[in-house]
Structures are given as structure tokens and as C-alpha cells.
Chains A and B, each alone.
Chain A
Amino acid sequence: MSNAVAKKQGTKSAAEYRAELNKVPHKPGSHKPEAILTVDNVSRSFGGLTAVDVDHLEVQRGVITALIGPNGAGKTTFFNLITGFDTPSSAKKLIGGPSSSEAAKWEFNGRSLGNTSAAAVSKQGMVRTFQLTKALSRLTVLQNMLLGAQHQTGENFFAAFFKPVWAAQEKANTEKALALLDRFKLLEKKDDMAGSLSGGQKKLLEMARALMSDPVMIMLDEPMAGVNPALTQSLLGHIQSLRDDGMTVLFVEHDMHMVRHISDWVVVMAEGRVVAEGPADTVMSNQAVIDAYLGAHHDTDLGDDKFLTDTAAVRIEKEVVAEEARSKKTKKK
């Protein structure tokens, strides 16, 4: 790898990283000069249905990359795979499985992430949020934030009994949490149960909580979904400010118009594959993308991405049943 030297964060400014993208060709799987995440041969199938099949993808460091695609394109599944919440079907297995050149492998910040648990992925600095917010509703907002802090002495079982051992660190974390809450306009909610927040506030809380761990790269799964339009603008602003702080942002969204303002680079997925890459304006006029959005299934609403497998499976089943019915009819004739 040519960029093996520049691994650590913050050697260049955000603008410099962005400028480097100008030279990158606008085609799927193109090589980035400063890739923080490199993914190879990651595929996942549920039964007979292939939800994700990504041959190669690189994500540029220090910029905002949007991962877009119609519902059911496999974006969330892809997120789950690279963050360790799911295992690729193409993963290396002890017995059998794909040959090592075809097996799934992905690198983050110069380290291989295959066979890494979700917690370990997060510890490496790649922290994600969820499409359906996972605010810990019966904990207060501040406790939610504190959970995000890394390397806490008080999380050691034996240390936990002795408050003096962890009190100082807890105080520092609390200050950090309060500062972040202030930035995300949640400060006066700090003692409320997280469950009492609105949907948009939960999204903000989740993002703030992820930032407590000082991530290298933050992965946001549909940060705008279910957020009222008034909040959307400030959310977008927050995402941009993360990049300006030197963080890499990868976020999933299915509404293309939402992302054009803030994304430096757009990756389009459809039916599990990466079909196009490039800056927002060029991608939107790409024929493959238009097909993906308006193509084969423009008449069916595939519903929520979460129910991908079931909906898709049922759709296929319906088609099969219809097919059978038709063939029976023809036989009768």
C-alpha cells in the first residue's frame, strides 16, 4: 500500500484531504490517495438472497462520505458487517469457506478488522450509531454520555468498589460530557431519562455519546431519519463540524437530496453492490444510480430497511407463487 506511512490522524487538514479527492476517478471501487477504510470481498447472504456483495471499496480519510442507495440496497447490512455486528458469508472459516484471496477482508486505519468483535472495532476508533436509535432510555442523558467514555478505571470490577480510585476520572469525563451536551444543545436535559427525549434529540444524544470516545471515524446510520426538518439543518451542521475537527465521517442515507450539501464523496449502493462513486452532483446524473432508484422496483415500496430480509424474501416468494400459478394455468390449457 502506497499510503502505509500516513496512518495516524491529523497529518493534513480537512481541506487537503478533500482536495485529494479531485483526482480520484468517479467509478465504483476507485482507489483513494488516503484511504482510512479499505473493504474487499465482503458479501452477506440471508438464505438464498444476497443482501451485500461489495468487491472493493475505499473510504477517504478526513472527509464526509455518504453511503446512499434505495431502500433494501444493503446499506445497513454493510454497516453491520464492517462494524462487527454481523459476519460476512464470505468470511474465512476454519474448515472450508472461500480461499484466502477471495475471503472477506477489511482494514481500518492500517489494521485488519476481520473476525473482530463489535466492541473491539469500536475500541479501534470506528464508532457507529444506529438507524433506530439505541438511547438507553432508563438511564439519564448524562449517564448515557458517560458510558461512551473509553478506558474507564471504574469499569474494572474490583476498582468499582472504591470510589476514590475512579472519582477523578469520572469528574473529567463528566466535564467532557457536559461540554458535548452543550454543543449539541442537550445540556438542560442532562438529568432527564433518555427515553423522554424526542426522536431528533435521541439522534443527537447518540451522536454525542459516540463522540465521548474520541473516534477516528464515526459511522452514522441514517442520522436524519425521523428528525424534524428544523433539527435536520443543525444536524447537518454538526456532521460538518465533525469533519472540520479532523474526523472521518461515513453516513448512510437514502434520500439523495439530503446529502448533496454536506458530503464530499458519495458511494451509491443498489442490490448489495456499489454501483457508483463520486461527488454528489456527478453521481446524481449517473445512469446506474437513476436505474437503481427508479429501476426494476419503482412500483414496489420495499418498506423499512430493517425488514430487508423478510420483505425481500416475501417479495420473491410472491413472485414464485405467481409464477407457479401462471405455469399451472398454462398446463391446464
Chain B
Amino acid sequence: MVNQPVLAQTRWKWSRTLVVAIVGMLIAAFWTLSQPANSFAAETTGPCVADSATGCFNGTIKGVGAGVKIVISGNGAEVIAVTDADGKWNAAVTTAGTYTLTLDEATLPAGVTMKSEATQTRDITLGFNKGAVFTVNGGTDGGESSTDGDTGSGTETAATGFNWDRLAQQSVSGLRLGLLLALASIGLSLIYGTTGLSNFAHAEQVTLGGLLAFTFSNVMGINIFLTTAIVVVLTGFTGWIQDVIIWKPLRKKGLSLTQLLIVTIGLALALQYAFQIFYGARTLRIVLANPETVTFGPVTLTIESLWAMGVSIVVIAAVGYFLTRTRTGRATRAVSDNPALASASGIDVDRIIRLVWIMSAALAGLSGVMLGLVLNGISWQTGMQLLLLMFSAVTLGGLGTAFGALVGSLVIGMTVELSNMVLPGDFKYATALLLLIIILLVRPQGLFGRKERIG
């Protein structure tokens, strides 16, 4: 109470820093966008602006290029939309109601056939954008990995049915996903352990890693190994800067964990759309060359996958060594156990937390690069789609225990890939989330967690 003015002053000082930082980010966004470097940003042909008198139909047809016609008819009007080079199209209508959208199959490139229905109906309200999805077989990037999330393109057809070869293949895929998840979720778990924060923006660190790798490797043509190293350093730096300008001041300000949780959600939202502005909504390839594959018995893997798994194992082992064998690592676990006590025993808690931020951001960035290589591309929502799997893994292992996060990730990775054998692909993430809920029912503290004491 005595040093109230001092407190107020510091608060003002850092809040100003935060505002300046955010405004700075926005200005930087404008500046970058006005540069020619943003040639990969999304473009629309003859943009349609939805307002009180207009409704917009739009969509992207993957792999068809420019010139495909879509006829929108209904309510006494007929509008024709034509795709641009990216397969994007849009059209404006001025009456609300139901329209029939017909893709003119004659305008499709040779050898390309419809996968979805060529005629679809949609209704629209003025002032809204309405998407319509047409998918094709045999498009130029038809082989690209499906990142069908919120934009919703075709879904994988269910190749269900059991055989041992498939089991082997899916198990290895599960292990691969598990290891990559572990890279990301160990950081999530360490942050939770040391600060109590459920960081919903952690997934954006993963995405950032992948997108930076795209920039360095694909756009600037840097060797992929060097790219990985640069990305790890850069994402580690973003962890540091985050702690400096956001999390440490907020800790000092005494925000509750719930407030901090909502702050991370806001941050995640802002970052996702910032990625979209910079990189567009497409899936971006980190390495342009077509992946080569290696076959071991029934299991076929790309070279990138093998590298990714190897790197993950080495890095996870290194993190494990750091946490259990080094002085700083043990201090980290002590902070995780009881920050007040650790502080009392002379550990610099703030330093440890900063280290944890750097480390988790770097691990997440690395995971993003690896995911981008394994999934054959990265988009603004790659991390977001995996966030819940990470949380499941961390919860499964016991919130705040790094080793638990590893085991949890492997279990979740396996569940996701193996459930694919009996269930349609649409359900694979749902199965993992369901597993999370069931585990909370049976063992709420997770596999390696402890119960807390009350009173």
C-alpha cells in the first residue's frame, strides 16, 4: 500500500509498452502488406463486399486454376463467377434467398472430374458471405494433404477394414504423430507447470514455426536443415519476447489465471488471422520437391517423416536429460512443483519461467517445421487443429508433468491414427477428444498427476 504510486507508475509504463507493441505490430502488418513481398497473400477477383444490400458467394476450388465457371441462379437473377489462378471465385447477389450454384463442368481443365456434386443449393442473407465447396479429382494439387478444417473441403473417404499391414502402417503413423505432438505438448505442459497457465496460444507457436520454415526454405530457398535451425532460434526468441512484453508484466500485475487464459485466447485469435493476412489461407509447402518414400515391410514412410521422427526422439531425449540431470532443469522441476517454495530456496523463479517460455516456444516451432514436412504443408490453422490434441495429451499425462506429456502424446497419436482403421477419417480427432473426456472421468489427475489437498 505504501508504494502505491510506484506500482501505478510501473503499471502505466508497461501498459504503454504493450499498447505501443500492439500498435507497432499493426503498423508492421500494413507496411508488409503494402510491399510486393506479399505475393503469396490471398487475392480475390473483383472482390465482393457483403453489406446491407449485397450477399457474397465465394469459395476456392483446389487444383483447377483460372477459368472455371460457376453459374449462380435464383430469385430471378443469374450471376456467373469465374475462378482466378488460385481457383478462388466469388459473386455478388442483391436478393436474399436460395440460389442454385452450378459448376460448368465443360470449363474444367482436361482430365479433371467432379468429386463433389456439380450442382449445389445455398441460401444467403444480405450482409453475409456464404461459402460453397466444389471439389475435383485430378486437380494439379489434388494430391496435397487435406487440411480440411474450418474451410471444409472434401473429407477423406473411409478406408475402413482391418488387416495387419494397415495396422503396422497406422501404428507407425501414430508413433510419428505422437512424437511430433510431444515436441509441442512438453512445452505446453512446462508452461502450465511453472506458471499455472493453460496457454491456448501455444498452437500458434507451432504454426509460426511451420510458416517461418516455409518462408526460409520455400520462398528464400535456404537449405532445410539450416532453415530448421533458424526457425528454432527465431521461435525461441518469440517465446522470450512474449514473456518480456506480455506474460511477466501480467504476472506482476497480479492477473488471475482465468484472466490470463482468456488473454491467451485473444492472442491466439489475433495471431491466427495475422497469419492469414500474411500468408493467406492456403496450405503452403515447405519443401517443393516431391517427397521420396522408403518402405520397410508393410510400412511406407517419406524420408521427411523419418527425419522428423529421428529429430523428435533426439530432442525429447535432450529435454529429458536437461530436466533430470542438469541443475537448471532440476530447478525448473522445483518451480513446477511449488513456485513459492522454490523461490524461498533461492531459485530465481522469473528466470526459470523465462527459460521455460523460450524453450517451449522453440520446441513448438520445431514441431511446426516437422509437422509441415510430415503433413506435406502448413497453413494458418495447422497448429489450431492440433491444439486440442495437445491439451488432451497434457491432460492425459497429468497437467504440468513433462514426462506425462510425452506419454500422453504417444497415446493420443496412436489413438488418432488407429481409430482411423475402424472409423471414418472424419472421426479421428473426435475419438482422441472423447478419450480425453473418458480419462477425466476415470482418473481426473491424469496418468502421472497428483491429487491436490484442500483446506
Contact = CB atoms under 8 A, between A and B. Distances in A.
Interface string B439-455: 00000000000100111
B158 interface: no
A79 B341 contact: no
B341 A86 contact: no
Nearest to A131: B455
A148 B327 CA distance: 51
B453 A46 contact: yes
B338 interface: yes
A309 interface: yes
Interface in B411-449: none
Interface in A75-102: 76-77, 79-80, 85-86
Contacts of B338: 307, 310, 314
Nearest to B452: A309
A46 to B, nearest CB: 7
A221 interface: yes
Contact of B337 (A80, A221, A306, A310): A310
A77 B338 CA distance: 19
What secondary structure prevails in chain B residues at the interface with A? loop
Contact of A314 (B341, B450, B453): B341
A76 B455 CA distance: 8
Interface in A303-323: 306-311, 314
B453 A77 contact: yes
A47 B454 CA distance: 16
A85 B455 contact: yes
Contact of A80 (B341, B450, B454): B454
A191 B385 CA distance: 49
Contact of B455 (A47, A221, A310): A221
A86 B337 contact: no
A137 B264 CA distance: 27
A293 interface: no
Contacts of B455: 76-77, 79-80, 85-86, 130-131, 221, 306
B452 to A, nearest CB: 9
Interface centre among B337, B450, B454, B455 (most CB of A within 10 A): B455
Contacts of A314: 338, 341
A130 B454 CA distance: 10
Contacts of B450: 47
B203 to A, nearest CB: 32
Contacts of A308: 453
Contacts of A76: 455
Contacts of B341: 307, 310-311, 314
Contacts of A85: 454-455
A134 to B, nearest CB: 9
Nearest to B451: A46
Interface in A119-170: 130-131
A311 to B, nearest CB: 8
Interface string A192-232: 00000000000000000000000000000100000000000
Contacts of B337: 310
A308 B453 CA distance: 10
A199 B337 CA distance: 29
Nearest to B345: A314
Interface residues of B, number: 7
A306 B341 CA distance: 13
A310 B341 CA distance: 8
A67 to B, nearest CB: 14
Nearest to A76: B455
Nearest to A308: B453
Nearest to B454: A85
A225 to B, nearest CB: 13
Contacts of A130: 455
Contacts of A310: 337-338, 341
A325 to B, nearest CB: 15
Interface centre among A131, A307, A314 (most CB of B within 10 A): A314
Nearest to A305: B455
A203 to B, nearest CB: 15
Contacts of A306: 455
Nearest to B453: A309
A104 B453 CA distance: 19
Contacts of A131: 455
A132 B190 CA distance: 29
B345 to A, nearest CB: 8
A85 B450 CA distance: 16
A77 B455 CA distance: 8
Interface string A290-309: 00000000000000001111
A287 to B, nearest CB: 31
B246 to A, nearest CB: 27
Nearest to A314: B341
Contacts of A221: 455
A130 B455 CA distance: 7
A130 B453 CA distance: 14
A307 B337 CA distance: 12
Contacts of A86: 453-455
A154 B341 CA distance: 45
A269 to B, nearest CB: 16
A28 B337 CA distance: 36
A314 B338 CA distance: 10
A309 B450 CA distance: 12
A222 to B, nearest CB: 11
A71 to B, nearest CB: 15
A308 to B, nearest CB: 8
A80 B337 CA distance: 23
Contacts of A47: 450
Interface in B91-143: none
A131 B455 CA distance: 7
A183 B338 CA distance: 42
A308 B450 CA distance: 15
A309 B125 CA distance: 61
A204 B27 CA distance: 57
B454 to A, nearest CB: 5
B16 to A, nearest CB: 30
A113 B137 CA distance: 68
A47 B450 CA distance: 9
Nearest to A44: B453
Interface string A52-87: 000000000000000000000000110110000110
26 contacts: A47-B450, A76-B455, A77-B453, A77-B455, A79-B455, A80-B453, A80-B454, A80-B455, A85-B454, A85-B455, A86-B453, A86-B454, A86-B455, A130-B455, A131-B455, A221-B455, A306-B455, A307-B341, A308-B453, A309-B453, A310-B337, A310-B338, A310-B341, A311-B341, A314-B338, A314-B341
Nearest 8 pairs of A and B residues by beta carbon: A80-B455, A85-B454, A310-B338, A76-B455, A85-B455, A309-B453, A310-B341, A80-B454
Interface of A: 46-47, 76-77, 79-80, 85-86, 130-131, 221, 306-311, 314
Given A46-B453, A80-B454, 5 more contacts: A47-B450, A80-B455, A86-B453, A86-B454, A314-B338
